[in-house]
Structure 1
Amino acid sequence: MSTETALETSPVRFDTKIAVLLREGLEPWQRLNVTAFLVSGLGSQLPEVIGSPYEDADGTPYLPMFRQPVLVFEGTKEILTAAHTRALSRALPRAVFTADLFTTGHDDANRAAVRAVPRDQLDLVGLTVYGSRNAVDKVLKGARMHP
């Protein structure tokens, strides 16, 4: 077996985890939108999560993507609030998406909507966290894998 084939079939266990936690009951378009928004900030602040650029057999270049899977979970509003508190207490890199952001139309309005609400009153519908596997697992306690 060639080295390239071995690399393609060998499972990789990452020391870190990228996780998105969504509040249950969101519409399908909301789940997709929230997930996309939440993970968009990771690469700009944490370059280590981004792999190398892609290229097809014809040499057409493509943008780099995360170097590891993004795991998506769901839970109740209470689980989301508790996860947010645990992520803060562990100082994990995180992003939030609040219900207010469904009514805004651009980036400046999004930031203003979050800035207007105290941390313990945020109406969270999504949270992303990145960190060591153990720390992220503890943050997500009570959440379940998204179906």
Structure 2
Amino acid sequence: MFDTKVALVVRNDLPTWQKLNVTAFLATGIAAAAPEAIGKPYMDASGTRYGSMLVQPIVVFGADVEELRHARQKAIERSMLVIPYVEAMFRTGNDEANRQAFLVEAVDSMNLVGIGIRGPKNGVDKVLKGFELHA
């Protein structure tokens, strides 16, 4: 049905509010980076107009930090769109502070709490092979 796949991978050991926060931010990152994946606005039977959403499903997986690091690396090696979120970003108050928190993360030990991936369907499936859907 779709040539591409959108997947979010969120760390299993986070409190629920953080899981939801990360999921929301990652989804907006995918939408911002892939405007061609945004559908038309919705309208209800009374003519009230609503906002648009991605035209394809988003699959959400759970993982630990090592699995997140591995998936991030594999997705980058395959030139996929990767949206990262690191734990230090929970302690910031704005976008610039988020960028600074991310900038100091060492690539090999990045304290990832989530990643968003968009790419060819079969490629995303290969990157996330063995991952389980988030419970």
Which TM-score band applies after superposition, normalised by the shorter structure? over 0.9
Alpha-carbon distance in structure 2 between the residues aligned to 1:60 and 1:119 = 46
TM-score, scaled to structure 1: 0.87
Over alpha carbons, which structure has the higher Rg? Answer: 1
Q: Tell me how far 1:102 sits from its aligned partner.
A: 1.1
Q: Deviations over 1:6-45 (max 9, x none)?
A: xxxxxxx322111000111111101100000011122222
Q: Deviations over 1:24-71 (max 9, x none)?
A: 111110110000001112222211211111111111111110101111
May I ask how many residue pairs the two structures share in their alignment? 135
Provide structure 2 residue ranges, at least 5 long, that are not aligned to the other structure.
none
What is the SS of the residue equivalent to 2:25?
A: helix
Please show how residues 128-139 of structure 1 align to structure 2 within 5 Å: 128-139=116-127
Partner of 1:65: 53
Of the candidates 61, 65, 76, which is equivalent to residue 88 of structure 1?
76
Alpha-carbon distance in structure 2 between the residues aligned to 1:114 and 1:138 = 26
Which amino acid letter does the alignment assign opposite residue 61 of structure 2? F
Are residues 1:74 and 2:62 paired?
Answer: yes
Q: Deviations over 1:83-120 (max 9, x none)?
A: 01101101101100101111111111001100112222
What is the CA RMSD across the aligned residues, in angstroms? 1.1
Alignment check: 8 A CA contact 1:79 1:142 kept: no
Partner of 1:125: 113
* Identity value in percent: 44
Alpha-carbon distance in structure 2 between the residues aligned to 1:101 and 1:14 = 32
Change (3 A) 1:142 1:79: farther
Alignment check: 8 A CA contact 1:83 1:141 kept: no
Please show how residues 31-110 of structure 1 align to structure 2 within 5 Å: 31-110=19-98
Q: Which segment drifts farther, 110-119 or 26-35?
A: 110-119
Alpha-carbon distance in structure 2 between the residues aligned to 1:57 and 1:123 = 46
